[in-house]
Amino acid sequence: MGIGEKVHSLRILVFNNKKIIENYFFMTVLQVLNSFFYLLIYPYLIRALGGSAYGLYVFATSISTYFLFVINFGFDLPATKAIAENFNNEKNLENIISSIFTSKTYLFLICLFVFVGMLYTIPVFSKNKSIFFLCFVSVYSFVLFPQWFFQGMQSMKTVTFIQLGIKLLSLPLIFWLVKKEGDLFSYVSILTFTNLVGGIIGFCIIRFKFHLKTYWLPLSSLKIWFKQSQPFFLSSLAGSLKEYSVPIIIGSFFGMKEVAIYDLANKIVMVPRTIFMSVNAAIFSKLIVNIKNHIVKKIIKIETAISLFMVLLIVVFGRFIIHIMGGNGMEDSYYLSILLAVTIVSWLVVGAYINFVFIPHNKNKYIAINQVMAMFSFFIFCIGGLLVYKSIMVLGVAIALSGILEIVYCVSITYKNKYLA
């Protein structure tokens, strides 16, 4: 085949998969946008608000994220699939949208009842009612904003533009209204307001662009959605408990300044982790059809090398980056970021084993066991470590060790069962 024919074949391939390529592009842009936005404003916020006030915000957000996890209940994946399957059926689309909105609103109201009880009984909540309440209200923007709908309709461009608009709206407001530690309320208010605006815009696009109506449904008609979504909720429960618990443990045992130190270290690690995690997602659909062991082995080796190189970059340049972003008083973030950098390796390598070894062999039980093991090992290392030595570095060590255990488990199961033989 000549060069001209190859170019022609490539053009046909791109044309036939134009929508898929476009959606993947905008999903990647969205991930990068969300990661870099908070990195860009972090140096200003940490200096304006101070470590303790910013740590309080991270702590309150972590609490709200627990509730968000419950409210989402794994609906998004089956909803996206249902939207894609009923692309041209207006009646079915309206029923799907109404079912998800109603289900999430029911759960939001239940969570609101629980949250109000916590607001008046837990001391740290009671002292900072307005901050915690605003962070919780912001959760409702995720009920309103139907990213799962746009993903199912292959219209991720809409999501990206809305999110970009929200970021551009919030930036000048942050620099205008957030000047000192006492302006934490203003900062949280800006984020809550802009998130709700984004949610309302997304909701309105469904109504006025796609001309789809939403209506309230009785709880009895939603049972099928809870049943379909339950496996997705349970499968991610262990990992979510581990991830969301870290700032809460630090805030409860140490203080809000230490929460800010952890958050900065986590942000440094999160950028390469988020970007490279999309690699597995990108090649999964291509390889899953005709997967070959020698290709999987090569992918695992390459991803191991890439992730170890990223760890090395954090070791070499992390101190400088943290000084630029956090200034004085945040030096401990450097040592914590080295420990957290292990998650770059575990996320990439374990992700490769899950996508290209366990899923093709229909061994979903190993995925669940791996997640549960990671959660329990983290809490065991955490509790044991804190009993011996009270330092936030203990949590970094616990995260690193649980990540290493995940890798060891995946490798041992793979070789024991000769999946790549």
Give yes or no: residues 212 and 74 share one domain: yes
Among 102, 61, 97, smallest CA distance to 219 is for 102
Q: How many Å apart are CA 12 and CA 20, to the nearest integer?
A: 14
- Which of 178, 204, 235 is the endpoint of a domain? 235
Question: Which residues fall within 8 angstroms of residue 355, CB to CB, at 6 or more apart?
Answer: 280, 284, 288
Same-domain pairing of 40 and 79: yes
Q: Among residues 326, 358, 349, 335, which one has the least CA distance to residue 273?
A: 349
- Does some domain include residue 359? yes
Give dist(CA 240, CA 231) in Å, integer: 14
Range of the domain at 381: 254-416
The CA-atom distances, in angstroms, between 230 and each of 222, 263, 371 are 12, 30, 16
Instruction: With respect to residue 113, please indicate whether it lies within any of the assigned structural domains.
Output: yes
Instruction: Give how far Cα 122 sits from Cα of 114, 115, 312, Å.
Output: 12, 10, 42
For residues 128 and 184, the answer to whether their CB atoms sit within 8 Å is: no
Per-residue pLDDT of the chain (421 residues), as tens digits, is 554 544 444 444 344 445 555 655 666 666 666 667 777 788 889 889 988 999 999 999 999 998 999 999 888 878 888 888 888 888 999 999 999 999 999 999 999 999 999 999 999 999 999 999 999 999 999 888 888 888 788 777 787 788 888 888 898 999 999 998 889 999 999 999 999 999 999 999 998 988 888 889 988 889 999 988 887 787 677 777 888 889 999 998 899 999 999 999 998 898 787 776 666 655 554 555 567 788 888 888 988 998 999 999 999 999 998 988 887 778 889 999 999 999 999 988 888 888 788 877 878 788 888 888 988 999 999 999 999 999 999 999 999 999 999 999 999 999 998 888 7
Residue 119 included in any domain:
yes
* Residues 183 and 50 both lie in one domain: yes
With respect to residue 245, please indicate whether it lies within any of the assigned structural domains. no
* Inside any domain, residue 271: yes
Q: Is 392 helix (H, G, I), strand (E, B) or coil?
A: coil
Residue 97 sits in the same domain as residue 164: yes
Residue-level pLDDT at 10: 40
Q: From 184, 207, 235, give the residue that closes a domain.
A: 235
